[in-house]
Each structure stands twice: as C-alpha cells, then as structure tokens.
Amino acid sequence: MDWAKDVLGSLFQNSNSFVFAAGISLVVVATGALVKSVFWKKQQKKLVQVGVVSHLFIYPVKSCKGVSVQAAECLELGLKNGDLKDRHWLVIQEDGHQLTARQEPRLVLISPFCDNGYMCLSAPDMEEILVPLQLPKTNPVKDCRVWGTDIRGRDCGDEVSHWITTFLKVNNPFRLVQFEPDMKPRLAKDAESPFSPTDQIVYPDSSPIMLLSEASVENLNTKLQRKVKMGNFRPCIVVTGCGPHEEDTWGKIQIGTAELACVMCCGRCILSTVDPDTGIMDRTEPLETLKSYRKCDPAEKHIYKNAPLFGQHMVTEKTGMIHVGDPVYKIIE
C-alpha cells in the first residue's frame, strides 16, 4: 500500500494548490451559469393572449374574391395554401398598369381557385376557365406597374384575357399575369415609408399581410345604416376575442409557429365602398363614416394623409404555419 501513501502525501503536500485550483473551477462554473442565465432571460419572451384566429383568406388574384382556408403557411411574401398564393396574379391594362376594383369594381365577383395544376376562374353568367399554373416559357413576360413601382409577370394567355375582358364588359383588352419565383419582388418601402428596406411584396398595395379584428367591423356597423361585411376590407387574417381596434396596439404577435410584426395601420380608400357581393361601388360608405372617427394623429398625416385607419399592415418575422382557431399572442420582450 506504499503507493497509496505516496499519493495521499502528494495531495497533502500540494493542498494549497489543490484548494486554489478547485476554487478557480467553482468560479468558472458559477460565472458560466450566470452568463447562461442572463442570456436565457434575454432570449425568453412573454406571450399574452389577445385573441383567436377566426378566418384566414388568400386572394390569389389582386382585387378578385378571396378564398377562405383553414390553414396557411405564413411566408415573407404572404399567406400560402398549396398552390394558392396571396396576390401572385394580377390583372393589367395593355400598357402594364395594374387594374384593380377601384377602376373596375366587378373584379371582386371573380372567384379564383387552384386545383390539379390549374387556376380556375368563375364569375356570374360566365363559364369557368382554367389557366395552367405552370405557364409555357413561350408566354411573354410583361413589365407591370403597381402603385408607381415596377414588377414583372408572365402573361397567362389570350383566352383568359378575352374571358376577363368579356366579363368586365369593356372594349380595351385586359391581361392576366402571374408572378414566378425567379422574378424580383417589389420593396414595400417604395409603397409606404414605414416599412424596412428588406420588406418585400409581390402585387399587394403595400404589405404581404393585413390583419383585422371582427370587433372593429362590428363597432363600425353600429355607426352605419347599411351594414358592411369583412369582405369590404379584404383582410388575410381575421381575429376575434378582442376589443375594437386593439390590433393597433399589439406590435409583435405569434400565431401558431409564425411571428409577425405590425408595421402601420391600413389607410382605407374607395375600394372599401365596393360591395363584395354585388360588385357595386357606393363611393361613400363606409369610408365617410370611418373618416369621422378613425383619422390619424396629425403627426402621422405625412404617412396616411386623409385616409381613415382600419386594420394592420404586417410583415412576417418568422415563417410558420397558422390555423383557424389558433390563439393570437402579443409578444412582450
């Protein structure tokens, strides 16, 4: 057992060094634990439920009818469900300028749907028409103009052009174009200054996602003689379980596995006066009533001008899946 005595003797002889080393080790471990704790606290976020998703809508063709879905991928360029992509198709004039329901209100009566590799369009008193989702590369690419910014789209062909032109009962032909993945999106900042230089959009006015609460619409209807519907405002995400206009206060939210950020309120225009069921433009209501109680702060008039505020323009900060029935959480960091 001489070897054991030698080991113990060595330890006792170097006890001071041993204690010192052990102390240093404890300090290192404690410091590491403290740093990890601080880092973890910074990474943690508090979630406060503020509502529930009641509806999800995707509008494949800008200004045409929306498609109600039960689930959607929340992507940087908007909501997606299978081949349905929000505002990835656009009706244009011959010179490439966008055509919206502001100029042709009956656009809201065209119902698009994607199935089996085709975009199906239907409208009152019209036979359905199918447009292939994978367009021939021989179809020309059009230079388009959306709210003063340039973007491209591949022409969907003469047949659907004739179909849309016939339904709208106009003499000058309109064309349908599709945004393809290898095309360059627009910058949201070119449409509205509050967006960051990295926020991108395809054919929407200014943001990839618009959110509105049921309570805001219900509150508006208490002030109107003729009630309006959610369809007047064309939101992508509809939320219930909150008070009127509470969506204006949320900042950042989490729905399902996605995270979104409110960038600015949605300034409403004459499009909100188009009846989604008849395609008739009132030109007055609900816009005038909204102007009576939803004007912006004078300090923000350079952004919104005289447009009344109704709903929230949002961007996706973390992509993910969202479903009808998902809780909506306000993120408090």
Contacts of 125 by beta carbon, 8 Å cutoff, 6+ apart? none
pLDDT in tens, 140-188: 999 999 999 999 999 999 999 999 999 999 999 999 999 999 999 999 9
In this structure, how many other beta carbons lie within 10 angstroms of the beta carbon of residue 31? 10
Average pLDDT of the segment spanning 260-279: 98
Give the per-residue pLDDT at 68: 98
How would residue 44 be classed by pLDDT, with cut points 50, 70 and 90? confident
How would residue 19 be classed by pLDDT, with cut points 50, 70 and 90? very low
- Exposed (0-12), middle (13-18) or buried (19+): which is 30, by Cβ within 10 Å? exposed
Task: Read off the tokens for 32.
Answer: 């590491």
CB distance 242 to 318 below 8 Å? no
Where does residue 236 fall: left (phi above 0), alpha (psi -120 to 50 degrees), or beta otherwise?
A: alpha
Q: How many Å apart are CA 147 and CA 163, to the nearest integer?
A: 25
Give the per-residue pLDDT at 309: 98
pLDDT in tens, 49-68: 999 999 999 999 999 999 99
How would residue 45 be classed by pLDDT, with cut points 50, 70 and 90? confident
pLDDT in tens, 81-91: 999 999 999 99
Give the per-residue pLDDT at 22: 44
pLDDT in tens, 275-292: 999 999 999 999 999 999
CB distance 66 to 57 below 8 Å? yes
Task: Indicate the range of 36-45, 116-125, 255-264 predicted with least confidence.
Answer: 36-45
Q: Which of 139, 149, 140, 163 is nearest to 91 (CA)?
A: 163
Domain boundaries of the chain, sorted by first residue: 48-332
Tell me which fold the domain 48-332 belongs to: M1 Pyruvate Kinase; Domain 3 (2.40.33)
Give the per-residue pLDDT at 208: 98
Average pLDDT of the segment spanning 31-45: 51
State yes or no: pLDDT of 3 exceeds 60. no
For 66, phi then psi, to 5°, come to -85, 160
In this structure, how many other beta carbons lie within 10 angstroms of the beta carbon of residue 184? 10
Strand order in the sheet with 84-85: 84-85, 78-81, 71-75, 320-323
pLDDT in tens, 227-262: 999 999 999 999 999 999 999 999 999 999 999 999
Report CA 8 to chain centroid distance, whole Å.
71
How would residue 18 be classed by pLDDT, with cut points 50, 70 and 90? very low
Task: Read off the tokens for 307.
Answer: 């447009």
Q: How many Å apart are CA 5 and CA 2, to the nearest integer?
A: 5
Give the per-residue pLDDT at 6: 53
- Name the residue with higher pLDDT: 2 or 183: 183
Helices (H), the chain: 2-13, 15-43, 158-168, 188-191, 214-221, 287-293, 301-304
- Average pLDDT value over all residues in the chain: 91
Give the per-residue pLDDT at 29: 44
Q: How many Å apart are CA 73 and CA 85, to the nearest integer?
A: 10
